[in-house]
Amino acid sequence: MSSARVGATRPKSQIKVSRTGMSNFGSPRAPKRAMSRNEVVVGDSVEAMLGLPEASVDLVFADPPYNLQLASRLTRPDQSVVDAVDDDWDKFADFAAYDAFTRDWLAAARRAMKPSATIFVIGSYHNIFRVGAIMQDLGFWILNDIVWRKNNPMPNFRGRRFTNAHETLIWAARDASARNYTFHYEALKAGNEDCQMRSDWLLPICSGGERLKDSAGRKTHPTQKPEALLARIILAASNPGDLVLDPFFGSGTTGAVARLLGRDYLGIEREQTYAEAARARIAAITPLPAVAVAPAPSKRNEPRIAFASVVEAGLVAPGVTLTDAKGHHKAVVRADGALAIGPIVGSIHKTGALVQGLPACNGWTFWHFESGAGLAPIDELRAVARARLRDAAE
């Protein structure tokens, strides 16, 4: 959604265009057809998604119509016209019609999602709150709301509102029981100067050479999303070879980025002109080498190692004294893998929390041993134990 989607609300009685081509409003649906990966399907998004096998999609990105309700054309102070979104595909008879449309496509997307799949839906203040409520009603489990802050938003020309400088994404699992959904926490943190990736993303809108234009120099699609936004989403919540579904494909940003990053895509777009532009755009993409997109190792997926196993493997001997990084606290390693601090016996985590007066502690990073080159966290010994397990399994 470009920052041109800014408008005033008008009474429902003045909204005169309903969504042509959508089954909710009386238009016939196209017959079901088989769909394959890496394809752009021209047709109704709900019908196309209902034609997919159940539980077949790994990630959904949806940029649905925002229902902007533009009452009249927007002008700048110099009376030049703002290139706002006034296409028929963004117009609905009333809020009830928009809600019915939203409920239908979300239900169809949820049906196509694997139990471990997640969905990102982007919107503005015009629609995102309605979308979020419907998602919860359908059983989706919201994981985050993400604010896309635009570092180059369109000004508010009339001076009657705050400058609309962001859009909101809702990230949700298929249901509340989902536990094994994909989230590359460590990779995102490593790429963010070893800081946790926050839920406010400062990214530019789509402009310059990235913006698709027709032969006359006009924008091919009014709400083309920046590739950086889709790259962050796809890298965060999918793996190479996964199937990424976009039911409102538009100019094909999702497909272009998915192909670049070694994912498969399936795009659904009702406008033939947009679909053709998307196909040409994706065909020009050269995928990155596998080493550039391979998932980073995740501690969550590594085998669980108990400190007792480290002791049993001879990586640290019973009777050795462990300290914190500054040498303020000391504990003795017991033969059973527990630590002793005077008469107190407990796990590496419990004793680490106790000496600090904290409710919890990661003992693997708190306690240190003398490595010969100085103090090192016992987590290094756990890494050695894991490496031995991998070698033994090969």
pLDDT in tens, 251-293: 999 999 999 999 999 999 999 999 999 999 999 999 999 999 9
Residue 299 lies in a domain: no
Question: Cα(125)–Cα(161) distance, rounded to whole angstroms?
Answer: 13
Question: Cα(105)–Cα(270) distance, rounded to whole angstroms?
Answer: 13
Q: Looking at residue 205, what is its pLDDT? A: 85
Average pLDDT of the chain is 85
pLDDT in tens, 314-373: 999 999 999 999 999 999 999 999 999 999 999 999 999 999 999 999 999 999 999 988
Residue 170 pairs in a beta bridge with: 121, 145
Q: State whether 64 and 185 are in the same domain.
A: yes
Question: Cα(128)–Cα(162) distance, rounded to whole angstroms?
Answer: 18
SS3 label, residue 175:
coil
Say if residues 133 and 102 touch (Cβ distance below 8 Å). no
Say if residues 228 and 191 touch (Cβ distance below 8 Å). no
Q: Looking at residue 32, what is its pLDDT? A: 53
Band (pLDDT 50/70/90 cuts) for residue 157 is low
Strands 200-203 and 166-173: unpaired
Burial of 378 (0-12, 13-18, 19+ CB in 10 A): buried
Q: State whether 114 and 224 are in the same domain.
A: yes
b (16+ CB within 10 A) / e for 187-205: bbeeeeeeeebeeebebeb
Q: State whether 155 and 219 are in the same domain.
A: yes
Domain termination site, one of 292, 318, 353: 292
Cα distances (Å, whole numbers) of residue 130 to 41, 126, 342? 27, 8, 60
Residue 213 pairs in a beta bridge with: 219
Q: Looking at residue 389, what is its pLDDT? A: 83
Question: Cα(157)–Cα(216) distance, rounded to whole angstroms?
Answer: 27
Residue 268 pairs in a beta bridge with: 41
Q: State whether 339 and 238 are in the same domain.
A: no
Q: State whether 209 and 270 are in the same domain.
A: yes
Structure tokens at 59: 């990630």
Which CATH number characterizes residue 65's domain? 3.40.50.150
Structure tokens at 367: 């306690």
Q: State whether 288 and 311 are in the same domain.
A: no
Residue 143 lies in a domain: yes
pLDDT in tens, 66-92: 877 655 555 445 545 445 455 565 578
Q: Looking at residue 82, what is its pLDDT? A: 44
More confident residue, 130 or 19: 130
Domain termination site, one of 238, 260, 292: 292
Strands 39-42 and 321-323: unpaired
Q: State whether 177 and 288 are in the same domain.
A: yes
Range of the domain at 377: 307-392
Band (pLDDT 50/70/90 cuts) for residue 17 is very low
The predicted model gives 111-134 an average pLDDT of: 96
Residue 267 lies in a domain: yes
Residue 157 lies in a domain: yes
DSSP letter string, 307-369: HHHHHHTTSS-TTPEEE-TTS--EEEEPTTS-EEETTEEE-HHHHHHHHHT-S---HHHH-EE
Question: Cα(367)–Cα(295) distance, rounded to whole angstroms?
Answer: 29
Q: Looking at residue 261, what is its pLDDT? A: 98
SS3 label, residue 134:
helix
The predicted model gives 188-215 an average pLDDT of: 89
Number of domains in the chain: 2
Q: State whether 250 and 124 are in the same domain.
A: yes
Span of 154-163, 173-182, 314-323, 347-356 with lowest mean pLDDT: 154-163
Q: Looking at residue 78, what is its pLDDT? A: 52
**In 3D, which of 135, 114, 8 has the Cα closest to residue 62?**
135
Q: State whether 181 and 237 are in the same domain.
A: yes
Q: Looking at residue 23, what is its pLDDT? A: 37
Residue whose pair of structure tokens reads 């309903």 in the numeric block:
18
Band (pLDDT 50/70/90 cuts) for residue 98 is very high
Q: State whether 280 and 312 are in the same domain.
A: no
Band (pLDDT 50/70/90 cuts) for residue 111 is very high
Non-local CB neighbours of 166 within 8 Å, separated by 6+ positions: 147, 148, 149, 150, 153
Residue 348 lies in a domain: yes
pTM (predicted TM-score): 0.72
Domain termination site, one of 292, 316, 333: 292
Band (pLDDT 50/70/90 cuts) for residue 31 is very low
Residue 16 lies in a domain: no
Residue 22 lies in a domain: no
**In 3D, which of 5, 1, 6 has the Cα closest to residue 161?**
6
Band (pLDDT 50/70/90 cuts) for residue 6 is very low
Q: State whether 168 and 108 are in the same domain.
A: yes
Q: State whether 61 and 125 are in the same domain.
A: yes
pLDDT in tens, 292-323: 999 887 767 677 899 999 999 999 999 999 99
Q: What percent of the chain has pLDDT over 90?
A: 67
